[in-house]
Every structure is written in C-alpha cells, then in structure tokens.
C-alpha cells in the first residue's frame, strides 16, 4: 500500500492555544509554544534550525512535521512618497495586495482579508474585481509577517539611500482596509487580530489595530464582544437613499441599524469614538446638504470623520470633488464642532491609494455584470 505523505503543518496563523496543543502532542510544555511564537512573529524566523533556545529534539520534530510559510510575492512596487505595495500570490490565479505607508509619527500596514470583495461599492477598484474566496488566518497574518521582515531587513542594510530609508519605519499600526470586507471573513480575521495583539506575537495595542467595515452589523456586535479594536466604518453618505447606491450593503443594514451598532460597539471599544470614512465624490455626496446630514449623525454617535479624496480608476466613471470643495466640506463639519480630517493621498502613482487596490481575482460572483454604469448614480432618487 503506498505511503500517504502529509502536508507540513504551517505554524503561521496558529494561535497560542493551537500551538500549545500541537506541542503537547510531542510531550512539550506550554511555554515551548510561547517560545515558538516569539521566534516566528517577533524575530521573523522561518528556519527551525535557527531557533537556538529550543531543544534539538524539538527542533527536529518541528522540521519533520511543520513549516513557516508566508505567501509568495509576485511583485513589489515603491512609490515616490515611500509607500510600498506587495502583490501576493494566493493560488489558482488569484492575487491580493498589501500596502505599507510610512509617516513621520507612524508606519501603517494596510492588510487584505479576501481575494476580491462581494460588497460591490462603485467607487472601489476591488469591487470591480469580483470575489473568489476568503483568505485564511495564515494568509492574513502572513502579510504582516512578510512586510515586517522586509522592512527590518532594509533597516539593517548598510546600502540604504535616503529614498529607501524613508520607507523603513517600523510597523506601528495595522489597518484591515485592504481588499475585501473583513467582517465577512470573521473567524479567520479574528484569529489574525488576536495574533496582532498577543504579547508573544506582535503585541500591538488595540488602539493601533483598526478594522474597517462597510457595516456588517451582526459581526460588528461579535467583534465588540470577542476582540474590540479600533473601528472604522465606511459611511460615504448621510441618507439611506444615497448610501443604498454607494454602499449596497446598506439595503440589508440601513443607517438606523448601523448607527445603533456603532453605539453598542463604543461600549467595548479601545477608543471613545468611531471613525467614519467618507469618500469625496464630485456632485454625488459633497454638497452642503450632505455635510449637514453628517452633523446630525455626529449628534447620534461619538465619532470623527475622515474625508477621503476619491482616487480614480478606469472603470468607475466617477470624479473626485475639487480640492476647494473638499476644504469647504471639511470646514462645514469643523464649524459644527465635529472632529474632521482629510486623508492625504499616498501611493497613487503605484495604484496603492485608498480604493485603488485590485490585485488579480478570478471572479466567481459575476459582480461586474451587476455593477451599474457610474454615470447613472442619481442623488435625489427616493429609496425603494
């Protein structure tokens, strides 16, 4: 009878309890699992032979049965502003994108959670790619694992020039704002979040890990109970009539439900406000009327608004609000006492800016056929 060869167990993505259970099958103590986590995540080591404070017999067992395997990188691009983008191969002709944004006071990694997206927002390039599958916890946390190793290797390199040096700030913040809707891949995203927060893995503060959602209300409630991190909500409109068109999920979870969920989340959140993301679309959602609507929302939920200049892509047919209009819109909110920022566009020369991530997705949902011609968006149509 032929011998069945088992695939090595990928330790990347396993939590402390899972590692402890695995180590226990070989008679190892739970502290060995914590040692292993520190080698994998804090030091970025993928060779068991290099894990020098582990017993030789244990390292040999790991080498026989396990691996530490991140995603394969198809391409890497560097923007003139220091932003870096990696295209990761996730198999079967699908690829996802991850972006690192260096700033003066932080280094932010934007991570993907799905190969594509099912929500289908018309201003988002990912939506036009359709949807293929959810990423595993290993594929999600592997983006952080790989980026951290690459950035730290650059820091150590003696050949850095000034341009490269500007993109080597350590990763201090992680945002689940890449491809996909994180809360529609809840269990696997939860596993990755717990590793980001685990002191034996990445040890990030809850305030420095952000999940962005288009408004999956039931999962917002679960996240508040299971693993409350900072929350950003893709709002983009102050009324149901307009939000139905810009964020199709609104037809299932309208604004009244969404705002109530935000207030419930605040009972557990590490910050005392929700960040509302608001894409600025010329002639669509940038009038004084919409600004007044946001002021009313701010009276219902403790929040801040992050206005995002729209970053164009060929299929959208949409335009960004003129800079003067964005400034005036922001001032309307500020004058009403609402905390408001305007997001600085980063990495647009390599299509790494907000809304531009597309990767390469073999669509299983025919979503492109359902997305409207963007010139047909009407802002004064009554809600159906």
Q: Categorise residue 208: left if φ over 0, alpha if ψ from -120 to 50, beta otherwise.
A: alpha
Q: Give me the catalytic one of 66, 121, 262, 354.
A: 354
Cα distances (Å, whole numbers) of residue 153 to 148, 159, 191, 228, 365? 8, 11, 26, 32, 40
Active site residue 262: no
Q: Which residue has the tokens 């037809």?
A: 251
Q: Which residue has the tokens 């036009």?
A: 128
| Helices 30-37, 16-24: inter-axial angle, 10-degree rounding | 130
> Residue 1: exposed, middle, or buried by beta-carbon count in 10 A (0-12, 13-18, 19+)?
exposed
Active site residue 124: no
Strands annotated E in the chain:
9-10, 66-67, 72-78, 84-91, 94-102, 107-110, 114-116, 131-134, 173-176, 209-213, 230-234, 274-280, 303-309, 340-342
Q: Give me the catalytic one of 97, 139, 181, 277.
A: 97
Q: Name the β-bridge partners of 73.
A: 88
The residues annotated as belonging to the active site are: 97, 354
């Amino acid at each position: 009878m032929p011998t069945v060869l088992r695939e090595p167990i990928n330790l990347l993505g396993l939590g402390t309890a899972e590692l402890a259970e695995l180590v226990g099958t070989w008679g190892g103590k739970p502290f060995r699992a914590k040692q292993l986590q520190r080698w994998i995540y804090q030091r970025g080591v993928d060779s068991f032979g290099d894990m020098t404070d582990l017993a030789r017999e244990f390292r040999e067992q790991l080498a026989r049965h396990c691996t530490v395997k991140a995603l394969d990188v198809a391409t890497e691009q560097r923007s003139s502003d220091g932003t870096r983008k990696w295209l990761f191969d996730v198999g079967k002709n699908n690829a996802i994108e991850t972006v690192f944004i260096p700033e003066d006071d932080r280094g932010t990694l934007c991570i993907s959670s799905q190969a594509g997206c099912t929500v289908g927002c018309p201003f988002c390039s990912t939506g036009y790619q359709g949807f293929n599958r959810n990423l595993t916890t290993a594929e999600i946390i592997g983006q952080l694992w790989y980026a951290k190793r690459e950035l730290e290797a650059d820091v150590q390199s003696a050949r850095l020039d000034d341009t490269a040096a500007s993109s080597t700030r350590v990763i201090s913040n992680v945002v689940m704002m890449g491809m996909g809707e994180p809360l529609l891949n809840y269990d696997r995203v939860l596993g990755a979040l717990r590793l980001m927060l685990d002191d034996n893995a990445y040890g990030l503060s809850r305030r420095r890990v952000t999940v962005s959602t288009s408004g999956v209300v039931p999962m917002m409630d679960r996240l508040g109970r299971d693993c409350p991190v900072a929350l950003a909500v893709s709002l983009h409109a102050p009324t149901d009539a307009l939000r139905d068109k810009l964020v199709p999920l609104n037809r299932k979870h309208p604004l009244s439900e969404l705002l109530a969920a935000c207030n419930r989340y605040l009972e557990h959140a590490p910050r005392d406000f929700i960040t509302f993301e608001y894409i600025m679309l010329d002639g669509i959602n940038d009038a004084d009327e919409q600004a007044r609507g946001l002021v009313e929302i701010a009276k219902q939920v403790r929040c801040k608004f992050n206005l995002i200049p729209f970053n164009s892509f060929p299929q959208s047919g949409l335009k960004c609000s003129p800079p003067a209009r964005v400034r005036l819109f922001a001032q309307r909110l500020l004058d009403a006492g609402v905390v408001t920022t305007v997001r600085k566009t980063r990495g647009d020369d390599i299509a790494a800016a907000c809304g531009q991530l597309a990767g390469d997705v073999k669509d299983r949902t025919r979503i492109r056929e359902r997305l409207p011609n963007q010139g047909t968006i009407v802002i004064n149509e009554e809600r159906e």
